Structures are given as C-alpha cells and as structure tokens.
Amino acid sequence: MDIEKWLRDSRTTVEKWIKEDDIVHFADIGSVEEVMRYSLLAGGKRLRPQLVMASTAYLGLPPETFREVALAVEYIHTYSLVHDDLPAMDNDDLRRGQPTAHKMFTEAMAILAGDALLTEAFVKMSRIQSAKAEDVLSAMDYLASAVGREGLIRGQVMDLAAEHATVGLSELKIVHRNKTGALFRAALVIPALLSGNHMRQQTLGQYGEHFGLAFQIVDDILNVVGNPALLGKNIGTDRERGKATYPGLVGVEEARRLAEDHRIRAKIAIGSEPGAEILHSLIDFAVDRQW
Ligand code: GRG
C-alpha cells in the first residue's frame, strides 16, 4: 500500500476534525480556546489518532468510526507537549517549528490551555455514540489510567528524577513505557475495548508496547543526529539537560539495533492477518522517520 498517501490523507482528516470542533472553530482572540487552537494546529505528525484509525481498520471497522477517540488522544498528547515545554519542565522555545504556547501567549494561559485540552479529551470520550455505554466506560477508565499517575504522569516524574542521575537500561525502559508508550497503547487498545474485541485487545497491546519503545528510541536518536529543520525543534537538548537516553546509554548504533528489534517484535505481535497492513507500515514509519 502507499503508506505516504495514507499518512497524508489520514493527517488531513484529523486536522479537518480538529478544525470542525466548536472549541477550535469559534475560538475568540484572547480566550483559552485560542491557545488550545494554536497548540492543536501548530503542526505535528498526528500519529496517535492515526493509530486509532489503523487499529479500528484492523478490527474490521471503517477507520473513522471512533473520531472522538482520535481527537481525545491528540488533545491529550498536545496538552502533554504544552506542559512539557513550560519553564518548570523542559523550558523549550520551539515546538513543531513554532514558538511554544507559553512563548506565544503567557505561562498562565499555556497551563490553563493544557488543563482544558486534557479535560476536553474526556468530554469527547463521554460522547462516543458508536459503542455500548459500558464499553465507553471501560475505554475512559483505560485512558485515564494510561495518562494519569500510573502512566504518562509517572513516566514524566521518573524522567525528571532521572536527569543528571545514573539510570540503567531497564529503568529507562520503564520511563518510556509510561511517558511515551502508555498513550500509544491506549490509542491502539481503546478501539478494541469499544468494539468488545478482547482477543485483539491483547495483540494490539503487545504491538503498542513495541511501537512505543521503538518510537522513543528513534526520538532519542534524532535528538543526537536529526535535522532540526525537519524536526521543527532543536537537537542536542537531551544531552544539555543531562537526560537519560538510549544513545546516551548504549550509543547511536546499538540504539538503532534496539529500535530494529522492537520493529520486528511489533510485526510479529500483529501478524499478517487481513487489516494489519497499515499497522505494519506505521511501525516502519516510526522507525525510519526523519521527523
Ligand atoms: C504530563 C507534562 C506532562 C508530560 C508527560 C508526553 C510527555 C510526558 C512529555 C512530552 C515531551 C516528550 C519528549 C514526550 C515523549 C514522547 C514524544 C517523543 C513526544 C513527541 O511526539 P511526536 O513526535 O510529536 O508524535 P508531534 O509534534 O509529531 O505530534
């Protein structure tokens, strides 16, 4: 299949959905919605909503069935980036090639926009029409655990604690399983929960585990050898901040080998069943990407 075309078309679809959201569409100048809109539309690969769509297709449903989930994971992802860029965290000036939200607006508005994006994600989830109410509840529970103190937040806390500390490979894996992997896994598993497909839930969870680790290893590698113009952010920042990373621990070559290993494991997990094609292409994209 032409994955480049699929990635382009699905990204266009996600961006259309974001623009159609009333919050974004009717955002007034000076409002918190303006900051949400700026952050949501500042660019980005849209990989998490694409994983929702690919997982839905793998389950034999039209890829656009769970639009609310696609938006929810992108809103949560954007909130995490807005907060991660704040002076109290990574203190970044550039994100997706544009000034970060707190640089463009104010710190207070960036904090509030992040909070509103996170909250809005759960409003979207609660409005899912294309699944049974009890499955929607399970999906909301899964998403809340993935991004709360047992998932994303835990990963971020561990990541901050690991700065300038001695961290081993197994600890680094736990950080990334939570900080990066939890939301990817949620994007993949939630369509299975909503469609009551428990068998594929396991398979998608395993694929998501390897996807998240491969993605993060490549992210670490790009922070060393990537092209800032393509990435839309500065490189070398992990090293400057004393962050624990895969290339920092094992070198770029070994990190590449580890990413390859996760690519293979993700492919084995998903198998070659009908509908798995996009998931194969997406892990290839995650490992081979330059941005
Ligand atoms: C809750 C503040 C807070 C943080 C949670 C997700 C996260 C932890 C921090 C964001 C920064 C970061 C380096 C996260 C690791 C995951 C990652 C590499 C995110 C970037 O994802 P891409 O490349 O981003 O998909 P785009 O811009 O393409 O959407």
pLDDT tens digits for range 229-268: 888 888 998 998 888 899 999 999 999 999 999 999 999 9
Q: Is the CB of 80 under 6 A from ligand 1?
A: yes
β-bridge partners, 94: 99
Q: What is the pLDDT of residues 12-70, one digit of tens each?
A: 999 999 999 999 999 999 999 999 999 999 989 999 999 999 999 999 999 999 999 99
In this prediction, residue 273 has a pLDDT band, given cuts at 50, 70 and 90, of: confident
Among 48, 81, 115, 159, name the best residue to mutate to test ligand 1's pocket (greatest count of ligand atoms within 8 A of Cβ). 81
In this prediction, residue 157 has a pLDDT band, given cuts at 50, 70 and 90, of: very high
Q: Which residue has the higher pLDDT, 162 or 278?
A: 278
In this prediction, residue 165 has a pLDDT band, given cuts at 50, 70 and 90, of: confident
CA 22 – ligand 1 centroid, Å: 25
pLDDT of residue 4: 83
Residue 6's Cβ-count burial label (10 Å; 0-12, 13-18, 19+) is buried
The torsion angles phi and psi of 98, rounded to 5 degrees, stand at -125, 160
Sequence-ordered alpha helix ranges (H) in 168-227: 169-176, 182-194, 198-225
Count of domains forming the chain: 1
Amino acid at 57: A
pLDDT of residue 43: 85
pLDDT of residue 227: 93
Q: What is the pLDDT of residues 77-112, one digit of tens each?
A: 999 999 999 999 989 898 888 999 999 999 999 999
Nearest CA to ligand 1 atom 7: 80
d(CA 16, CA 28): 19
Asked if 214 contacts 79 with a C-beta cutoff of 8 angstroms, the reply is no
Q: How much of the chain exceeds pLDDT 90, in percent?
A: 85
Asked if 226 contacts 199 with a C-beta cutoff of 8 angstroms, the reply is no
What burial letters (b/e) apply to 14-25, b meaning 16+ CB within 10 Å? bbebbeebebbe
Nearest CA to ligand 1 atom 6: 80
Amino acid at 189: V
Instruction: Reply yes or no on whether the pLDDT at 164 is more than 80.
Output: no
Angle between helices 107-126 and 67-84 (to 10 degrees): 160
pLDDT of residue 127: 97
Amino acid at 98: Q
What burial letters (b/e) apply to 27-66, b meaning 16+ CB within 10 Å? beeeebbbbbbbbbebebbbbbbbbbbbbbbbbebebbbb
User: The domain spanning residue 57 has which CATH number?
Assistant: 1.10.600.10
pLDDT of residue 96: 84
Q: Which domain holds residue 75?
A: 3-288
| Strands 98-99 and 94-95, bridge-based pairing | antiparallel
**pTM as predicted:** 0.96
